[in-house]
Structure 1
Amino acid sequence: MLINLSDVMSDRHETVDETVELNMDMFQSKAGQFPIVRKNPVHIRVEHVRGKEMLIYVQTDLDIEIPCDRCLKEVRQKFVLDIKKHIDLEVPDDKLTEELDESNFIIDGYNLDIEKLLYNEILIGWPVKVLCREDCRGICSICGQNLNEGFCNCEDTGLDPRMSVVRDLFKNFKEV
């Protein structure tokens, strides 16, 4: 989804203030494809500051289904995106100051790529660990039974008695 910034960059310096529908139905990264199950319209506001400098505000929220890291049950993860970018198109990205954000990845000519901006913000806010619940037991490594739904009759024959101290540590802290 591209937003035309020619009115902001022209001599009139008109502010762009739009609410548009998000076209993205799937979030795809190296970790896999994750469906976007709920999304709200995206509110965009672009203001001229001076020269080719502008402020970009983007607000939306959406839910993405991500599998639990232990039992693979789908978990609905909420992302609230409230983005503020200060961009100067005259300054190359290698000479940016702390107050300015990179512009080359979201602005092409006079078009602002909203989906690329949202993709990057979702990627930055991606959770390190997703759990369906705090005390998730995971799945059996032998038969694949979801241990949250019941126990299995598998015997863990691969345990080395010399590792009993380490096994006790894992049992006590349960965070693997």
Structure 2
Amino acid sequence: MILDLHDIISTADKSMEVSVLPEKEFFVSAAGSFPISSKKPFLLRLFNDDNKRLRITGSTEVELTIPCDRCLEEVKVPVAIHIEREAELSDGVLVPDPDEETDTFLQGEQLDVDRLIDDEILVNWPTKVLCREDCKGICPKCGQNLNQRDCGCDRQVLDPRMAKFQDVFKEYKEV
């Protein structure tokens, strides 16, 4: 969703509150495309601080469907979004800051709300997604989800430097 900021940028000390529902159905990143299964209205506050700074604040929550890192089952993960951004103004015109990455969501006098939310989802991305703490994952040999049932494969991983000892133990086991 694109918001026109002309009125707020051109008037000193003007503030505006907008409630918008994010339009995106998927969050797309280098890691893949993830469905947004639930989204709440986004309360966005804009404030022109004496024609010097445009302050953007807001909060919302979205729920993404992300595969479990161990078993690949889909997990609904809530992501809280809290935004506090600023952009420099000069005589009622947005001034791009080369050190800031505001150019991803601010273009001219327009604010791309979906891009702003995407940036925050990326920053708040969970480091590890598990369907449950004791997730057993999948069998590396046959691919069976070990949370559903045991496959019976021999999953013992031995250090190749100790392979000779395994042969010796097998030999004595038979006796």
Could you state the TM-score of these two structures normalised by the residue count of structure 1?
Answer: 0.82
Report the counterpart of residue 137 of structure 2 in structure 1: 138
Which has the bigger relative contact order, CA under 8 A and spacing at least 6?
Answer: 2
Identity %: 42
In structure 2, C-alpha distance between the alignment counterparts of 1:72 and 1:43, rounded to whole Å: 34
The gaps in structure 2 that reach 5 residues or longer are: 164-175
What's the offset of the Cα at 1:30?
1.1
C-alpha distance 20-157 of structure 1, shift in aligned 2 (>3 A): closer
For the pair shown, which has the larger CA radius of gyration, 1 or 2? 2
The one-letter code matched in structure 1 to 2:97 is: D
Report the counterpart of residue 112 of structure 1 in structure 2: 111
The one-letter code matched in structure 1 to 2:132 is: R
Report the counterpart of residue 172 of structure 2 in structure 1: none
Report the 3-state secondary structure (helix = DSSP H, G, I; strand = E; otherwise coil) of the residue aligned with 1:120: helix
1:32 equivalent to 2:26? Answer no
The gaps in structure 1 that reach 5 residues or longer are: 165-176
In structure 2, C-alpha distance between the alignment counterparts of 1:77 and 1:19, rounded to whole Å: 23
Report the counterpart of residue 47 of structure 1 in structure 2: 47
In structure 2, C-alpha distance between the alignment counterparts of 1:9 and 1:157, rounded to whole Å: 65
Contact 2:13-2:51 within 8 A present in 1 as well: no
What's the offset of the Cα at 1:158?
6.6
In structure 2, C-alpha distance between the alignment counterparts of 1:2 and 1:133, rounded to whole Å: 38
In structure 2, C-alpha distance between the alignment counterparts of 1:12 and 1:128, rounded to whole Å: 41
Write the mapping of 1:1-176 to structure 2, written as runs, cut at 5 A.
1-11=1-11, 13-90=13-90, 92-94=96-98, 102-156=101-155, 159-160=158-159, 162=161
Report the 3-state secondary structure (helix = DSSP H, G, I; strand = E; otherwise coil) of the residue aligned with 1:18: strand
What's the offset of the Cα at 1:146?
0.8
Contact 2:87-2:96 within 8 A present in 1 as well: no
In structure 1, C-alpha distance between the alignment counterparts of 2:129 and 2:162, rounded to whole Å: 28
Report the 3-state secondary structure (helix = DSSP H, G, I; strand = E; otherwise coil) of the residue aligned with 1:142: coil
C-alpha distance 52-2 of structure 1, shift in aligned 2 (>3 A): farther
Contact 1:56-1:84 within 8 A present in 2 as well: yes
Query: 23-32 vs 6-15, which deviates more?
Result: 6-15
Cα shift readout 1:39-94 (whole Å, capped 9, x = no counterpart)? 01111110010224111012111100100000001111101111111221455423
The one-letter code matched in structure 2 to 1:5 is: L
What's the offset of the Cα at 1:10?
1.5
The one-letter code matched in structure 2 to 1:42 is: F
C-alpha distance 163-65 of structure 1, shift in aligned 2 (>3 A): farther
Report the 3-state secondary structure (helix = DSSP H, G, I; strand = E; otherwise coil) of the residue aligned with 1:3: strand
RMSD (Å) for aligned C-alpha atoms: 2.1
Report the 3-state secondary structure (helix = DSSP H, G, I; strand = E; otherwise coil) of the residue aligned with 1:93: coil
In structure 2, C-alpha distance between the alignment counterparts of 1:137 and 1:31, rounded to whole Å: 23
